[in-house]
Amino acid sequence: MVREVDVSEITKNIREMCISVNYELSDDMKKVLSSAKQSEKSPLGSQILGQLQKNLDIAKNDRIPICQDTGMAVIFLDIGQDVHLTGGSLEDAVNQGVREGYTDGFLRKSVVSDPIIRKNTNDNTPAIIHERIVPGDKVRIKVAPKGFGSENMSQIFMLKPAQGIDGVKEAILKAVNDAGPNACPPMVVGVGIGGNFEKCAEMAKEALTREAGVHSDIAWVSDLEKEMLSEVNKLGIGPAGLGGTVTALAVNINTYATLMLLLVLAPMLLLVLTLMLVLALEKV
């Protein structure tokens, strides 16, 4: 049975999500951050993590953004194949939600309409929109305000199959080490392995939206995530890049079928990644 969803509902929910994810940290990431503070061996690093926690409280109580860089909105839409969207253009509805959220939430508007001319659109649109058709009659929305300090630290590696898992490990460590303090650690590292050029990058980006503490359901991938988190934290970059034992809070890996070994890494600024919110649009 086909279910009708008016796109105005998508606009409404994206507006609310753009505001809330910039003001409040999800409970799962708060828990991980608290655990990181307890485990950090550097006194300075522990102090920095404590300041991040204090900043979260101020942002929530005073209704101001956690970070001044409120990013470019990245929207993931899982649209049930039994959903019929009505009332207008889906793309327009998404961008209207972003426009209202960034305006009504007094969030910094940094998007420019052209990469060379660089004229500000003054409403933080357009968003980056990823759409996927899935079974069911629901629309699932993920909103990720992606700051470009961390975005600019992302890397792609074209690996030969013979390099295998060791090549993957070396690439992950190289990307994080190259990023150093520029991705504002502690970070979550999103990794895509396989697919093709664009699929791999999309997997790495979406990996950043995974709930904290949840590993891949593929055994070897889950093992690799745990191993690489340990190895990344041995780099000693630490909170704010000032040294310490907590450089990353998680390493999340997505994989896909491929013809050759392809790897994309997307280091993510903590105070952007952890601002992501997953919302299931159940109401029409």
Angle between helices 27-39 and 43-62 (to 10 degrees): 160
pLDDT grade for 269, boundaries at 50, 70 and 90: very low
Cβ neighbours of residue 74 under 8 Å, at least 6 residues apart? 127, 128, 130, 143, 144, 145, 146, 205
Please give the helix or strand (H or E) that residue 100 lies within, else none: helix 90-104
Q: Is residue 113 very low, low, confident or very high in pLDDT (cuts 50, 70, 90)?
A: very high
pLDDT of 271 higher than 60: no
Segment (H or E) for 252: strand 248-256
pLDDT band, very low/low/confident/very high, at 40 (cuts 50, 70, 90)? very high
3-state secondary structure of 282: coil
- pLDDT tens figures, 213-226: 999 999 999 999 99
pLDDT at 274 over 70: no
- pTM for this one? 0.90
Q: Find, among 73, 60, 38, the residue nearest to 272 by Cα.
A: 73
Residue 162 reports pLDDT greater than 70: yes
The closest alpha carbon to 123, from 138, 140, 108, belongs to: 108
8 A C-beta contact, residue 232 and residue 247: yes
Q: Is the pLDDT of residue 279 over 50?
A: no
More confident residue, 40 or 148: 40
Query: 206 with 268: CB under 8 angstroms?
Result: no
CB-based contact 62:117 (threshold 8 Å): no
* DSSP H or E run through 158: strand 155-159
- Is the CB of residue 53 less than 8 Å from the CB of residue 33? yes
- Find the mean pLDDT for residues 46-50: 97
Q: Which two tokens stand for residue 201?
A: 């990058």
So what's the pLDDT on residue 280? 31
DSSP structure class, residue 180:
G
DSSP type of residue 117: T
Contact 97/12 with Cβ under 8 angstroms? yes
| Residue pair 126/111 in contact by the 8 Å Cβ criterion | yes
The mean pLDDT value for 112-133 works out to 98
268/122: higher pLDDT: 122
